[in-house]
Amino acid sequence: MRRFLTPSDIGNLSQALKEAAEVKKNPYAHQHLGKNKTAVLIFFNSSLRTRLSTQKAATNLGMNVIILDINKDGWQLETETGVIMDGDKPEHIREAVPVIGQYCDIIGVRSFARFENKEEDYSEKILNQFIELSGRPVISMESATRHPLQAFADLVTIEEHRSVQRPKVVLTWAPHPKALPQAVPNSFVEWMKVADVDLTVTHPKGYELAPEFMDGVHVEYDQKKAFEGADFIYAKSWASFSEYGKVLSTDRSWTVDEEKMALTNKAKFMHCLPVRRNMVVTDGVIESPDSIVVQEAANRVVSAQTVLKRMLESL
Ligand code: SN0
């Protein structure tokens, strides 16, 4: 595997889920694979789960790990080509990336949407330069448009907690004070579409996700109707795609609360974290026995380790 961005990069999903279950059961079985191999994890944005779980996954496989918070500890990178570099950015990404490639065998990159320009974000300018110029397999640790390690972990979590063969899974938009990327909901939809689940997406008008992700997906604008009979409620806030990067509403009638959860089929509550309590979800719901956000976060090690293992096997 040379890159991990979409479900098609991991191939057959049920095979990948089987492998993930094996990795979880026996996390130290493949330490020989990572011997004398190095992963470099580059962060352009903050992280808690991704950083810790990916490092843990790599060390479980016997790898060495180097982590760089590039905005804090590296040179500020120029990412535009053709510019006269007489400003405050001393290094160009087109030198930095091939140099990073010299020091490792696998690269992980986190680079969020900047919300300055929709076309630029959706062209994945930063991530693609790592793919093009590093000479190494690249894992997206949340790029401008996708968060595949999260979505794979979400699928593992649903597989572990489902009580019916084909659960009803509801992705609900939720209010938030800030404009958040569409990466998590995009990937969640992309992975659920190819998984054996019955997916419904609910959000206020104006929060439609990019058509390339939503093709054939059931949208229900009435949140309460969407919740009826759900087995999993997956909450996430995102900024508008059509009015790119705008917060159109902070309507707290969309907050996931006990009353709405009562409409479901005793649904499990999921969220990628970090979550704003009493904006996205009430204290009562996130602390209820049906909240599986911590188990979900635990599975971030499993998804990262399954992906790293595949990459090490194909080096
Ligand atoms: C990121 C997002 O894509 O929504 C990362 C989620 C894994 N979330 C945030 O940036 C939250 C920031 C905030 O202020 O709540």
- What's the pLDDT tens digit per position in 152-177? 999 999 999 999 999 999 999 999 99
Is the beta carbon of 235 within 6 A of some atom in ligand 1? no
Residue range 202-209: mean pLDDT, rounded: 98
Atom of ligand 1 nearest to the CA of 237: 4
Give the confidence band of 60 by pLDDT, cuts at 50, 70, 90: very high
Calculate the average pLDDT of the chain: 98
Beta bridge partners of 43: 69, 110
Q: Which pLDDT score, from 0 to 100, does residue 41 have?
A: 98
Q: Which pLDDT score, from 0 to 100, does residue 284 have?
A: 98
Give the confidence band of 303 by pLDDT, cuts at 50, 70, 90: very high
**With contact defined as beta carbons under 8 Å apart, do 7 and 307 qualify?**
no
Query: What residue has token string 């492998």?
Result: 19
Stated as kind and residue range, the H or E segment containing 192 is helix 183-194
Q: Which pLDDT score, from 0 to 100, does residue 48 have?
A: 98
Q: Which CATH architecture has domain 3-146+298-314?
A: 3-Layer(aba) Sandwich (3.40)
**pLDDT tens-digit series, residues 106-136:** 999 999 999 999 999 999 999 999 999 999 9
Q: 150-297: which CATH topology?
A: Rossmann fold (3.40.50)
Token output for 250? 């902070």
Give the confidence band of 277 by pLDDT, cuts at 50, 70, 90: very high
Give the start-to-end residue ranges of the domains of the chain. 3-146+298-314, 150-297
Atom of ligand 1 nearest to the CA of 150: 7
Residue range 39-58: mean pLDDT, rounded: 98
Is the beta carbon of 272 within 6 A of some atom in ligand 1? yes
What are φ and ψ of residue 54, in 5° steps? Answer: -70, -40
Is the beta carbon of 247 within 6 A of some atom in ligand 1? no
CA distances for 80 relative to 68, 97, 138, angstroms: 21, 14, 21
- Is it true that 3-146+298-314 and 150-297 share their CATH fold? yes
Amino acid at residue number 303:
S
Is the beta carbon of 276 within 6 A of some atom in ligand 1? yes
User: Cα(274) to centroid of ligand 1, in Å?
Assistant: 6
Ligand 1, atom 11, residue with closest C-alpha: 274
Q: What is the C-alpha to C-alpha distance for residues 28 and 212, in angstroms, rounded to an integer?
A: 39
